[in-house]
Amino acid sequence: PYDVLVVGGGPAGASAAIYAARKGIRTGIVADRFGGQVNDTLGIENFISVKYTEGPKLAASLEEHTKEYGIEIMKAQRAKRLEKKDLVEVELENGAVLKSKTVIISTGARWRNLGVPGEAEFKNKGVAYCPHCDGPLFAGKHVAVVGGGNSGIEAAIDLAGVAEHVTVLEFMPELKADSVLQDRLNSLPNTTVIKNAQVKEITGTNKVDGVTYIERESGETKHIDLQGVFVQIGLVPNTDWLADTLERTRMGEIVVDSHGATSIPGVFAAGDCTNSPYKQIIISMGSGATAALGAFDYMIRNQ
């Protein structure tokens, strides 16, 4: 069996695998797509000590660094079931069952898409999902935030500090965000909130030039000229495969303690699939390191 088996090969998984392998213990990593969400990112400017890099380049470095340590890398494989027996068993979609003393889950998350024309075409060309990452690219521009929940309103407040104007588009007749956030947003001079708005299309030629929506009350179609659209309708953790084997939040995020431990002894988790409040590369890497050290501590106490 493995000492540490990491499931997921994004920043959290790569960091966890390297930290584990550096203890001289048998480490494996299973990843559907090595690099994870980083593969879909264009410019990265907040990976501290690296002024600028690009997603595919960082993904390649993650893999290269992981290969330095004799870690068994199983790529293009998906886990579909986890079960705690004497050891922890992870079953893959191809039927193989991997056994390990400890498991670190780092299967990440994905942004929920609007699914309207223009969204996929203009990804990284005006369509964005992460205000912490891409906000500064829209300095002095007019942007929309789609979604009036907490993350949408937080994004709008954040973007109002750099953008010329921020328009929030909410499908429902009311915003769902906490009232303190709504009050803060309403106190800003360069923001507009449009409720009851169903986004139909993100328009543009080479890059975004506007958004078209239906005013649901009147049924009228409206268009706004702008340069950016932040989609904030939810981040979905890739944890369905765990069903109720371990404790997850209402949103499906794995609940971890300060050592990265989950509700199953010997099973740890890190990164965007957990209830960590902020989802960023540097944060995922930190939590991957924490989970690996947590797993190592667990192992030396339970052998």
Question: Rule CB under 6 A: which residues touch ligand FAD?
Answer: 7-13, 30-34, 36-38, 40-41, 44, 46, 78-79, 106-109, 111, 129-130, 133, 238, 241, 271-272, 279-282, 284
291 Rama class: left (phi>0) / alpha (psi -120 to 50) / beta: alpha
What is the nearest approach in angstroms of ligand FAD to the Cβ of residue 276? 9
What is the nearest approach in angstroms of ligand FAD to the Cβ of residue 303? 27
Q: Please name the helix (run of DSSP H) or strand (run of DSSP E) that holds residue 21, with its range, or none.
A: helix 11-21
Annotated ligand binding at 88? The verdict is no
25 and 3 in contact (C-beta within 8 Å)? yes
Tell me whether residue 134 is one of the annotated catalytic residues.
yes
The residue (of 9 and 28) whose beta carbon lies closer to ligand FAD is 9
Kindly list the distances between the CA atom of residue 55 and the CA atoms of 38, 43, 76, 272, in Å, as whole numbers in the listed order: 5, 7, 19, 17
Beta-strand ranges (E) seen in 176-293 are 191-194, 197-204, 208-215, 220-225, 228-231, 235-237, 267-269
Annotated ligand binding at 153? The verdict is yes
Residue 253 main-chain phi, psi, to 5 deg: -80, 140
The residue (of 156 and 242) whose beta carbon lies closer to ligand FAD is 242
Residue 76 main-chain phi, psi, to 5 deg: 55, 35
The residue (of 8 and 210) whose beta carbon lies closer to ligand FAD is 8
The residue (of 88 and 197) whose beta carbon lies closer to ligand FAD is 88
* Catalytic residue of the set 32, 40, 86, 134: 134
Annotated ligand binding at 128? The verdict is no
Handedness of CA 298, 82, 8, 119 (dihedral sign): negative
Tell me whether residue 273 is one of the annotated catalytic residues.
no
Annotated ligand binding at 140? The verdict is no
Q: Give me the active site residues, please.
A: 130, 133-134
For the annotated binding site, the residues are 3-18, 142-156, 262-272
